[in-house]
Amino acid sequence: MKRWIGFILHLAMIVILTSFGSYTITKKVDYKVPDSLKVDLSFESLVQPDSVEVLKDALIDPPFLGNAYNGFKEALAFKESQGRYDVVNTLGYLGKYQFGLSTLNLMGVYNAKDFLNDPILQERTFETNIARNKWILRRDIKRFNGKRIRGVVITESGILAAAHLAGAGNVKKYLRSYGKNDVADAYGSSISYYMRKFAGFDISTIEQKRNAKV
């Protein structure tokens, strides 16, 4: 009997071990991806057509030459032409500060070739244009300086940089509409962008001048 009992127990153990070796118990588990790691395929592109030039410009930082007039004009020149006097862009704007012929004519400059070949003339023309726009925008500078429009702090240098980009008339519309009339040039640079990018420079050394000429 003892032998039979031992044999039956041994056989039972073999059957149990064989059963566990032949079958695997599987359990279905639901793995959830945290919301912070999910990819939303319905997002909109962050790069709008009008902002391509702005983003490209942000990749290259101009040399910082201080917050006075010289730093202001060189920062603006770097944005316009990377500081090159001989540049003519695809729309025909000229020189280090990218002036249009109509604006040059207003200040008494009529020969485009002479203008491109004369760095001193280009510097004088830029300073003249700042003095001219200071006069045109004098009331708006006084009224809006230090205020905030759509998250942008308005400063004198920002206003005058924007006037260089889009003209004093468009800057007046932008300020008096509190940012609703925000225009951009053909490369996507807007008034609000120039207001922000060139804010905080001290250009008090340039005096306003009515009908300024070179």
Q: How confident is the model at residue 77 (pLDDT cuts 50, 70, 90)?
A: very high
- What six digits make up the tokens of 104? 């040059």
Instruction: Specify the CATH number of the domain 49-197.
Output: 1.10.530
Residues 1-14, mean pLDDT to the nearest whole number: 58
- What six digits make up the tokens of 214? 């070179």
Show the DSSP H helices in the chain as ranges. 2-22, 52-58, 69-81, 101-106, 112-116, 119-136, 138-144, 156-166, 168-176, 191-197
DSSP per residue over 105-131, as a string?
HHTT---HHHHHT-HHHHHHHHHHHHH
- 94 - beta bridge partners? 88, 99
Which of 130, 151, 143 has its CA nearest to residue 193?
A: 151
pLDDT for residue 21: 45
CA distances (Å), origin 35, targets 29, 46, 73, 165? 19, 21, 47, 43
CA distances (Å), origin 181, targets 128, 162, 166, 174, 198? 26, 13, 12, 5, 19
**Domain boundaries, given as residue ranges, for the chain:** 2-33, 49-197
- 153 - beta bridge partners? 148
- Give per-residue pLDDT as tens, 11-64: 666 555 454 444 333 444 443 434 433 333 332 223 333 333 444 444 455 666
Mapped onto helix, strand or coil, the DSSP state of residue 62 is coil
Mapped onto helix, strand or coil, the DSSP state of residue 212 is coil
- Give per-residue pLDDT as tens, 135-194: 999 999 999 999 999 999 999 999 999 999 999 999 999 999 999 999 998 889 999 999
Higher-pLDDT residue of 24 and 2 is 2
Mapped onto helix, strand or coil, the DSSP state of residue 102 is helix
Cα first-last separation, the chain: 126
Q: How confident is the model at residue 66 (pLDDT cuts 50, 70, 90)?
A: confident
Element (H, E) at 148: strand 148-149
